[in-house]
Amino acid sequence: MGKKRLAAALVLALAVTLGACAQKQSTAKKSGADSGKHATAPQIESFLAVDQEWYAITVEGIEKGKRDQYIVDLSLENKTDDKELLFRMTAVSGDGLLLEAYCTPKVKAGKTVKEQVVFRENPNYDMWDFRDLKFTFDVEDAADIGARRDTPDVFHIYPYGKESGTSFVRRAGENERVLEENENFRVTLLHTGFEDGAYCANLYLENIGDKPYFFEFDNVSADDCMMHESFDENLDVGEKTFLTVSCEEEELKKYQLTEVKKLEFTLRAGEGRYFFDEPTFEKTFTLTAGEET
């Protein structure tokens, strides 16, 4: 009887184990299906996005990187015979939300460069959900960068078609709160806390007015200890962005701060694309750790 009971117990244990494994496999498959909803990149045809006397920009396509990065492939052509050109992407947005990506190559006279714009992952959005990607470039003579043109080059990519109906919508969190709202802009506090050693206030900044606005966040302090960090952003009409005001780990160590009870910063804002002559708004905000919860 003892052997039979032992055998039965072993069979039962094996069945439970197999059942658990099957459940794990099922869960893994489901999770894999969810994470693989963008297994392939949107298929778009190559097109000439910018065609100027000195240069041209061609959109070659969109691809998915080895680590699931969202990548836009560009071809940058310098048409001149004697100038090196700086192709400087000054902004890129998805459905009006400013995104994190960089592109600043220099191209020799008469040459063409293939460039990949790689977008950084962000927990606040999924790159694959954007319908309208807007790119803004300043292309300048690398030997005379100060002589900027008044009008930048702007072009759009519609990954799923211009009339697809796909569009990014931010999902508001339960505990976030509006720090400031007026006729020109709105600042929402999403949450505060330590991230990768830095103490951060994560904000959502929106231009809700009818003019471009420039924003400066400075005079940052943690528990009345001044930090060296300052932050700025410019938003065109209808644009918005996720922005973090942070106290870096090295700065906190100077004051032996292992926790932060109070974060303070001053926000100045005014009309302008890259700076303002005089701020039209100035206010100091004091955030108590965890108050948004």
- Tens-level pLDDT at each residue, the chain (293 residues): 443 333 444 333 434 343 443 333 333 333 333 344 566 788 899 999 999 999 999 999 999 988 889 999 999 999 999 999 999 999 999 999 999 999 999 999 999 999 999 998 888 898 998 999 999 999 999 998 776 667 899 999 999 988 877 678 888 888 899 999 999 999 999 999 999 889 999 999 999 999 999 999 999 999 999 999 899 999 999 999 999 999 999 999 999 999 999 999 999 999 988 788 889 999 999 998 765 44
| Res 190: pLDDT | 94
- Rounded Cα gap, residues 25 and 13, in angstroms: 18
pTM: 0.79
The residue to which tokens 């794990």 are assigned: 24
Would you say how long the chain is, in residues?
A: 293
The DSSP line for 80-142 is: -SS--EEEEEEEEEETTEE-------EE-TT-EEEEEEEEPPBTTB-GGG-S-EEEEEEEEET
How many Cβ atoms sit within 10 Å of the Cβ of residue 255?
15
Q: Judging by DSSP bridges, how do beta strands 97-98 and 85-94 pair with one another?
A: antiparallel
Rounded to whole angstroms, the Cα distance separating 83 from 87 reads: 12
The count of C-alpha atoms lying within 13 angstroms of the C-alpha of 180, restricted to the half-sphere facing its C-beta, is 21
Token output for 256? 């032996």
Instruction: Kindly report the number of other CB atoms within 10 A of residue 113's CB atom.
Output: 15
Contact 185, 208 (CB under 8 A): yes
Q: What is the DSSP letter of 143?
A: T
Taking the C-alpha atoms of residue 139 and residue 149, their distance in angstroms, rounded to an integer, is 8
Look up tokens 């071809």; give the residue.
75
